[in-house]
Amino acid sequence: LVGAGHRLWWLGEFAPIEGVRFPVYLATSRDAREVVSSGGYVAALTTAPLIFLTPSRAAAGPALEALLAGGRVAWMVLEDELEWDGEAAFRARRPLADAVRPFLERHAPATIEPDSSFRIDADTFTVWHDGKSCPLGNTVGFRALRRLARRPGVYVSTEQLLDNAWGGATRSKSAVQKTISGLRKQLEEHGLHEVTIDGSQQGHYALKISANGKR
């Protein structure tokens, strides 16, 4: 708990890359005036850029806008960024780096990659693109997509996919075709329409990632 009279918590530091750290604070009050007061309190504690979390947008208004105006404080709303997975846990709708992208562009431009809108999270077995996620689980489909994502646009042979994703456990090309078909369906169902798997070259597949909605 940070500061007497403030329902304010220091959660730790967000480190997008080695050597770059931003303190993260959470204000748990739903009272707008108290939230703004908490934000002003932590902003006065340090001159360093920081990330300020609130449960909802209840604090939105001129007072909070004034606090954020300098660009030193990044505001993130948990109800916008987290969703209940129905199994006693929350999951992020997008990577934290995407949620505070303008903040990072200002204070840590080295963390912004040209194609950072597409990511594969090996810890949660999830594919991200343009703020949308597609959970694949620890499956052969995830391993196949991860192999294709090593070099987007480059065709990978069925034999290479069998070696990398199946580990030689099967030599069935029909298994690859079925898996690729399932991946395409999952990506479409989760709204990742710009992430496609091209099989136009016989016996080969390539991951294609379109920009700005253009295929």
- How far apart CA 136 and CA 197 sit, in angstroms, is 15
User: Which is higher by pLDDT, 62 or 213?
Assistant: 62
Q: Which of 89, 111, 133 is the last residue of a domain?
A: 111
SS (H, E, C) 94-117: CCHHHHCHHHHHHHCHHHCCCCCC
Give per-residue pLDDT as tens, 131-150. Answer: 889 999 999 999 999 989 88
Give per-residue pLDDT as tens, 104-127. Answer: 878 876 554 544 578 888 888 999
Q: What is the DSSP string of 124-143?
A: TTEEEETTEEEE--SSHHHH
Radius of gyration of the chain, Cα coordinates, nearest whole angstrom: 21
Give per-residue pLDDT as tens, 81-112. Answer: 888 777 777 888 777 777 887 788 788 765 54
Three-point CA angle 76, 11, 17, nearest 5°: 75
Task: Tell me: do 141 and 104 sit in the same domain.
Answer: no
Q: What is the pLDDT of residue 150?
A: 82
Confidence bin at 4 (pLDDT 50/70/90) = very low
Does the residue 214 lie in any domain? no
Q: How far is CA 176 from CA 18, 144, 145, in A?
A: 38, 9, 11
Task: Tell me: do 138 and 59 sit in the same domain.
Answer: no
Task: Tell me: do 135 and 41 sit in the same domain.
Answer: no
- Find the CATH number of the domain harbouring 171: 1.10.10.10
Mean confidence (pLDDT) of the chain: 84
Residue of 46, 43, 49, 64 whose CA lies nearest to 16:
49
What percent of the chain has pLDDT above 90?
Answer: 34
Q: What is the pLDDT of residue 215?
A: 43
- How far apart CA 103 and CA 73 sit, in angstroms, is 8
Q: What is the pLDDT of residue 211?
A: 61
Q: Sign of dihedral through CA atoms 112, 128, 120, 199?
A: negative
Q: Which of 111, 129, 149 is the last residue of a domain?
A: 111
Does the residue 3 lie in any domain? no
Q: What is the pLDDT of residue 104?
A: 80
Q: What is the domain extent for residue 194?
A: 118-209
Give per-residue pLDDT as tens, 158-197. Answer: 988 988 888 766 668 899 999 999 999 999 999 999 999 9
User: Which is higher by pLDDT, 53 or 168?
Assistant: 53
Q: Which of 111, 144, 166 is the last residue of a domain?
A: 111
Specify which residues 198 forms β-bridges with: 206
Tokens, residue 67: 């606090």
